[in-house]
Structure 1
Amino acid sequence: MLVRGWRRSWQKRSKLERIDLYSRLTVSVIPWLFTLSWQLAPFKSDIRHAPLPIALGVALLLVSLVQCLLSNRNVELSYAHYLGAAVFPRRRQLTPLVLLLVSLGLLATLAGVDGVDDDGLLLMTMNAPVAFAITQALLTPVRTFLIQSFVVTALSVGVLAAVGVRGGTLAGVGPTTLFGSLLTLISVRPSAWSLGVMWQAEEARDLQARLAVAEERLRFGRDLHDVLGRNLAVIALKSELAVELAERGKPEAVDQMVEVQRIARTSQQEVRDVVRGYREADLSAELAGARGVLSAAGIGCEATGDTGDQLPTPVQSALGWVVREAATNVLRHGDPRHCTIRLRSSADEVVLLVENDGAAVAAPGPDGSSVAGDGSGSGGSGLAGLRERLRGVDGSLDAGPARNGLFRLTATIPLGPAASSARHQEKPPAAREAPVLQEERP
């Protein structure tokens, strides 16, 4: 039951949350791993089997285990301090510092009574700063941490020299103590830095999504204002006029109210058209939106080819959804720097091509086709929905990795003779001569 609960909890986490949890658990395990290997191993043959050396060795082991517990207790808050989400109270490091000094004292006493040989002494010296250094590596800048490591190393050498450790053993104390601190630094600091970068990227994506929603709300509100503002003003004026005419007993008041009724019904229809327009993707609006969103995310976007204004409305709507989903995939997957959108139409078909760099490694799909390893291939629900929309206009969609590490999405919709004729009938000649849509990368 416990395993099932843990598994459900793991599956509910996002990929980034799983990486975060894995990193923190790894850091929590490090002091225990080093203590059980470097502090426990000398009991077998390096510590002299006599009551006093054994007692000192056990005391040193217990102090190291308490240091591990305190280190685990501080992992969560020290990570939050490093990521800027909280402030670590420095007083919480006071007890681990005292235990570090106690462990050095016990180690010096063990060496002073000749209770441990040289190899065991060096192993335990290497382990001494690890638990304390894990938290310090997340709380202090690298330069400060290195200075503190040199201070602990000098203190270890001085204490052991004071109890009579000499020669090669004393010369090895410095490098081994410093190695323990540096090993902790290169194990913990890069992990925290990577997590910080990933969380910042996640926050940037969330902010970008919120900005996109806010922009869409503003656009919707602006369109509603443009549609209803004038009509409501006219309705207000005509209503006031009808009231004045009615008070004077003029029959023209009825005509004014009829006009008010007509304008109100027209406004209702215009509102329905606005709502319908937002439920149906508009190709020109989606192209402009894709360029704006990608450029805001630092991705150069170049759109070339036809404007799409000459296409039948169902075809425009289907291609608009393709542009929207393609732009979403570019933002969500890989590490793109440039995106190209090409729209080409002829008498027989219209082709929309979206190509971006920074694609993830490709993997074979369930049907043997090539699918983007970033999840944007045919196995994704977004592209599956696009295929359904395109099937409504007899179109097809192809998505997968291309040359030079690019990811390419191609939507093709056939245009028969009847569709071509209807297309030209829907727009005036001026629309068929619309200029080429092109925007260079800023």
Structure 2
Amino acid sequence: MIDRMRAWQRDWHGRSKIERVELQSLAMWHAMPWIFFLSWLSVPLGLSLRPGLAAQLFGWSLIVLAAAQCVHVNRSLRRSIDHYLRRAPLPRRDLTVAAVLMGATMGLAVGLQAVDGVDNGMLGLTTLYMMMPFAQALAFSVPIRGFLACVALVDAAAVAAFAAGGARGGQLAAVGGLIAFAGLLALVSTRCGAWTLSVMWEGDRAREVEARLAVAEERLRFGRDLHDVMGRNLAVIALKSELAVQLARRGRPEAVDQMVEVQRIAQESQREVREVVRGYREVDLAVELAGAQGVLEAAGIVCRVSGSAATLPASVQSALGWVVREAATNVLRHGDAGRCDITLAVDERRAALVVENDGAPEVAPEQRGSGLAGLRERLAAVDGVLDFASGDGVFRLTVEIPLPPPSAHDPAPAPERGRDGDRERDRGQGVAA
């Protein structure tokens, strides 16, 4: 017995909060018909039956059939709840059996009324109970309008049956009022709790969807960062490797220097990928401008850089740094550029970055990569706007970012003095050399 209690305790603590609420609600809904059975029907009716054979036969048969109603509604409750929570189809057979049991119970009550087998006034509690089990099952299964229509129909049939059994006047009105009250009580006691339960499950599913979206968004961030980080580095590695091959074929000793540079860039790429995975990567616009100029000039592209990023907030510098990186990667990968101009203009209201290069091929919209789309997502975080245009072999990329008031500016990042900052600057100078 103790082991079983411990197993129940482990099972309870292993459930989520919403599962515990649902279990408690099910326990309440299972107990409710039996509470009404004991307080409204079995005890009052058993104590008030007259000693005649007909009264005893009708009365105890009614008690047994009412208990059968409780058993049936308990057995079908799980299916009714699952239907309300949209987990299962409508339990039509359960509703049919519940309706038949209610009709049989009502017939026995009418018979008890006809033989005058119960003390005056005690049949009212019996009438109040008869509707409860069926109404409980019905409340979980049909919309509220359908439920009210069904209760009205049952009420009318019950009044007609009791009239045929000899009830008159105020007694008929009491029957109609008690059945209507029982139906509304069943609706409130079941439907409100079920609605609360459904809202909680919807909230739980919404949190689950939100978690999946957060995971998907993080995957997109990682893919976008990896694309931005590795794009230019791989292009430089390819360029340096090709140059090393050409020098090696000519027997030039500079080929070793180029391969050493390839090794250094590969090691830098590893470090940057680790930073992307940790999510701590920050972009320095000045470093990116110097690096882009060095990479493009090493590829034989005349690159002119104008403008200063010293007064820009860190968030704006980071966004523009990714733009410079992506733009330099596209110049290296696409077309046959001979020049590239990078212009940064900053005033009190906005920061504008323009990257223009020649030798740009005509590319259909469906053939464009995901780099520009990723830049738009980054710029959206700082309310930036990206635009581009191509024509006559010239590609022009324009980015504008509004700036906060001077008092709200982020402090400009101090020049990097650590080992990583020296690497970035050495990298730009080394490639330019």
Per the normalisation by structure 1, the TM-score is 0.60
Which residue does 1:332 correspond to in 2? none
User: Is contact 2:45–2:126 with CA below 8 Å preserved after alignment?
Assistant: no
Q: Secondary structure at the match of 2:122?
A: helix
Structure-1 separation of matches of 2:153 and 2:411: 82
Q: Secondary structure at the match of 1:40?
A: helix
Structure-1 separation of matches of 2:65 and 2:239: 86
Deviation at 1:31, TM superposition (A): 1.0
Which residue does 2:381 correspond to in 1? none
Structure-2 separation of matches of 1:279 and 1:24: 51
Equivalent of 1:219, from 203, 218, 221?
221
1:213-268 CA distance string (max 9 Å, x none):
22122112211221112112222343344445545655444333222112111112
Which residue does 1:70 correspond to in 2? 72
Which residue does 1:107 correspond to in 2? 109
Equivalent of 1:177, from 162, 176, 179?
179
Which residue does 1:353 correspond to in 2? none
Structure-2 separation of matches of 1:139 and 1:279: 55
User: Is contact 2:155–2:179 with CA below 8 Å preserved after alignment?
Assistant: yes
Q: What one-letter code is carried by the residue in structure 2 that aligns with 1:427?
A: A
Deviation at 1:144, TM superposition (A): 1.5
Equivalent of 1:155, from 157, 174, 199?
157
Deviation at 1:46, TM superposition (A): 1.8
How do 1:213-292 residues align onto structure 2 when only pairs under 5 Å count? 213-243=215-245, 245-246=247-248, 251-278=253-280
Structure-1 separation of matches of 2:54 and 2:313: 89
- Number of positions where the alignment pairs a residue of Structure 1 with one of Structure 2: 291
If you compute each CA radius of gyration, which structure gives the higher value, 1 or 2? Answer: 2
Deviation at 1:188, TM superposition (A): 0.6
Deviation at 1:279, TM superposition (A): 9.8
User: Is contact 2:81–2:194 with CA below 8 Å preserved after alignment?
Assistant: yes
Structure-2 separation of matches of 1:273 and 1:197: 41
Which residue does 1:413 correspond to in 2? none
- Cα RMSD between the aligned structures? 2.8
Q: What one-letter code is carried by the residue in structure 1 that aligns with 2:202?
A: Q
How do 1:289-308 residues align onto structure 2 when only pairs under 5 Å count? none
Q: Secondary structure at the match of 2:49?
A: coil
1:325-356 CA distance string (max 9 Å, x none):
xxxxxxxxxxxxxxxxxxxxxxxxxxxxxxxx
CA change 1:241–1:73 in 2 (3 A) is: farther
Which residue does 2:386 correspond to in 1? none
Structure-2 separation of matches of 1:425 and 1:211: 34
Deviation at 1:34, TM superposition (A): 0.7
Which residue does 1:427 correspond to in 2? 414
1:61-109 CA distance string (max 9 Å, x none):
2211221122112222222222222222323311111111111111111
1:275-301 CA distance string (max 9 Å, x none):
344499xxxxxxxxxxxxxxxxxxxxx
Structure-2 separation of matches of 1:153 and 1:113: 22
Asked if residue 92 in structure 1 is aligned to residue 94 in structure 2, the reply is yes
State, as a whole percentage, how many aligned pairs show the same letter: 50
User: Is contact 2:275–2:281 with CA below 8 Å preserved after alignment?
Assistant: no
Q: What one-letter code is carried by the residue in structure 2 that aligns with 1:20?
A: E
Structure-1 separation of matches of 2:186 and 2:411: 71
Q: Secondary structure at the match of 2:121?
A: helix
Equivalent of 2:39, from 32, 37, 49?
37
Q: What one-letter code is carried by the residue in structure 2 that aligns with 1:104?
A: M
Deviation at 1:151, TM superposition (A): 1.0
Q: Quick check: 271-280 or 13-22, which moved more?
A: 271-280
Which residue does 2:81 correspond to in 1? 79
Deviation at 1:33, TM superposition (A): 0.9
CA change 1:161–1:219 in 2 (3 A) is: same
Q: Secondary structure at the match of 2:51?
A: coil
Structure-1 separation of matches of 2:277 and 2:101: 68
Any stretches of 5+ residues in structure 1 without a counterpart? 281-306, 311-422, 429-442
Deviation at 1:425, TM superposition (A): 10
Deviation at 1:10, TM superposition (A): 1.8
Structure-2 separation of matches of 1:42 and 1:93: 27
Structure-2 separation of matches of 1:424 and 1:308: 6
Which residue does 1:53 correspond to in 2? 55
User: Is contact 2:66–2:130 with CA below 8 Å preserved after alignment?
Assistant: yes
Q: Quick check: 169-178 or 9-18, which moved more?
A: 9-18
Which residue does 1:194 correspond to in 2? 196
Q: Secondary structure at the match of 1:119?
A: coil
User: Is contact 2:313–2:412 with CA below 8 Å preserved after alignment?
Assistant: no
User: Is contact 1:239–1:260 with CA below 8 Å preserved after alignment?
Assistant: yes
CA change 1:308–1:114 in 2 (3 A) is: farther
Which residue does 2:16 correspond to in 1? 14
Q: Quick check: 147-156 or 228-237, which moved more?
A: 228-237
Which residue does 1:283 correspond to in 2? none
Deviation at 1:427, TM superposition (A): 2.0
User: Is contact 1:46–1:119 with CA below 8 Å preserved after alignment?
Assistant: no
CA change 1:52–1:220 in 2 (3 A) is: same
Structure-1 separation of matches of 2:124 and 2:281: 71
CA change 1:308–1:100 in 2 (3 A) is: farther
Q: Secondary structure at the match of 1:166?
A: coil
Structure-1 separation of matches of 2:411 and 2:169: 96
Deviation at 1:181, TM superposition (A): 1.0
Deviation at 1:123, TM superposition (A): 1.0
